[in-house]
Amino acid sequence: MRRARTTVIAAAVARERGARATGEATVDSRYGRPVPVLRATALTKSVGTGRARRQVLHNVSLAVEAGETVAVLGRSGSGKSTLLNLLGGLDDPDSGEIELAGQRLTGVRARALARMRLRHIGFVFQQFQLVEECSGLENVLMPTRLPGAPAGGRVRADQLIDELGLRQVAAHRPHELSGGEQQRFALARALVNDPELVLADEPTGSLDSENGAAVLGLLRGLGHRAVVLVTHEPEAAAVADRVLRLTDGRLEHSPAPVPR
C-alpha cells in the first residue's frame, strides 16, 4: 500500500516534469487549470498543551506554480517557520491539506513522506546546517547517497558547484568558508536531487548585504522550480513574484507590490 501510494505520487510529479519540458502544464480536472506544484488548503496549527496551547496558524491557504517565487513576510514569531515545516512535510497540521503536483502529502506514512521530501523538495536553512566534518562537495552529495535518491547525483553536484562558483573551495570544510560560500553550498545541497519545490527559511538572515543579495538572486533564478521563502526582511521579499504577509497566524496578500 505504501509503495503503491509513493509510486502514484512519483508518477504525478514525473508527468508534471514532462509537461514543463514540453511547455505544457498538467491540467487539474477539478479546476480546469494547470496543477500548482504546491497547494495548501485551510491549514491550522497549534503549539503547546493544556492552558498554554495556542493556535499559530489559522486557516492558511496558498498555491505556488512552477517557475514562481512566493515570499511570506512576517515578524519573528509570526509562524513563518511553522508554515514552512508544514509545507515541507516536516510537521503535520492540525487540519487542512497539502498537495504536491496534485497528490496529497498530508496523511502519508512516514517512510513514503521521507522519500517524497528527498526526491521532490529542497530545503534551504538560515543557519546553513552544513556538516563540519565534511567538505563542501561532500555536504552537497549527502542527499544523493540516501536510499531512494534519484540517479546521477554526482553529475548534478558537479554542475551545481560550477554554476554557483564554488569549484575552487569545494574541498574546504565549512569553517574555512565565508558565510556566502556556506549558503551557496547549502543551496546546492537543496537542489542536488532536482526538486520541484524549494523552501527557504530566512535564507539571508546570517549573511551580510552583499552575500544576501547574491543568494536572493540565485533563488530568483531557479527556473522551472517553485520557490517559497519566508523572511522578516522586505528587501529579501522583493525578489518574489508574489508577497504574502503572515499576521496573527493569517496569510494575507501584501497590500502593495514590493519593488524589485
Pairing type for strands 197-201 and 121-124 reads parallel
DSSP per residue, 155-210: HHHHHHHHHTT-GGGTTS-GGGS-HHHHHHHHHHHHHTT--SEEEEESTTTTS-HH
Asked whether residue 50 carries a pLDDT value surpassing 50, the answer given is yes
How far apart CA 128 and CA 144 sit, in angstroms, is 18
pLDDT digits (tens, 9 = 90+) for 77-119: 888 999 999 999 999 999 999 998 777 888 888 888 888 889 8
**Where are the domains positioned within the chain?**
2-253
Alpha carbons 160 and 144: distance in angstroms, whole number: 13
% of the chain with per-residue pLDDT over 70: 84
| Count, residues in the chain | 260
pTM for the complete prediction? 0.82
Burial of 85 per CB tally in 10 Å (0-12, 13-18, 19+): middle
The residue type found at 247 is T
pLDDT digits (tens, 9 = 90+) for 147-195: 989 999 999 999 999 988 999 999 999 999 999 899 999 999 999 999 9
Distance between alpha carbon 170 and the CA centroid of its chain, in Å?
A: 24
**Nearest alpha carbon to residue 10 among 146, 108, 153, 157:** 108
CATH number, domain 2-253: 3.40.50.300
What is the number of alpha carbons within 13 Å of residue 181 lying toward its C-beta? 18
